[in-house]
Amino acid sequence: MLVTTNLFGDILSDLVAGLVGGLGNDARRQHRNGCGNLEAVARLRPRYRGERASANPIALMLAAAMMLEHSKMPELAVRLRRGINDTLNIDQIRTGDLGGRFEYRGVYARTGQAYRKRLTTCSACQRQSRSRT
């Protein structure tokens, strides 16, 4: 953990984002007075008109994983992170900013498949489904 002012925190987070592949892969958690904010660090937008589907969704999915951890559902967060890892590193499905050729829809779809595949062994999910019936 590093505590700094907002300006220097923004500069440092931008610099360090290069270690994880760029701003499109970086999520942030901020806490103040018992409240938290989870977000993607950058709003990556397409460079050219007509490229609306080329934005990188990884940071949003990582922020969702942090939200699951914050909500006391760490097993689901781990499964989401593993799904992201499988999508990027095993299946090589990436958006253009990561050297890939897929739109965000392909990245979301493959990550969702990997996540759902692991849900059958998730004890938190099984507890929730039993409590609903």
Domain boundaries, position 15: 6-132
In the predicted model, is pLDDT for residue 128 greater than 60? no
Whether residue 1 is contained in a domain is answered as no
38: β partners:
29
CA distance 56 to 127: 33
At 10, list the tokens: 């923004």
| Residue 124 belongs to domain with CATH number | 3.40.718.10
Whether residue 88 is contained in a domain is answered as yes
Whether residue 72 is contained in a domain is answered as yes
Q: How many domains does the chain have?
A: 1
- How far is residue 32 from each of residues 36, 47, 88, measured CA to CA in Å? 6, 34, 33
**pLDDT tens sequence across 58-109:** 888 888 999 899 889 999 999 999 999 999 998 998 888 788 888 888 888 8
Whether residue 59 is contained in a domain is answered as yes
64 in Cβ contact with 76 (< 8 Å)? no
Q: Where are the beta strands (DSSP E) in the chain?
A: 27-32, 35-40
Whether residue 119 is contained in a domain is answered as yes
Whether residue 99 is contained in a domain is answered as yes
Whole-structure pTM value: 0.68
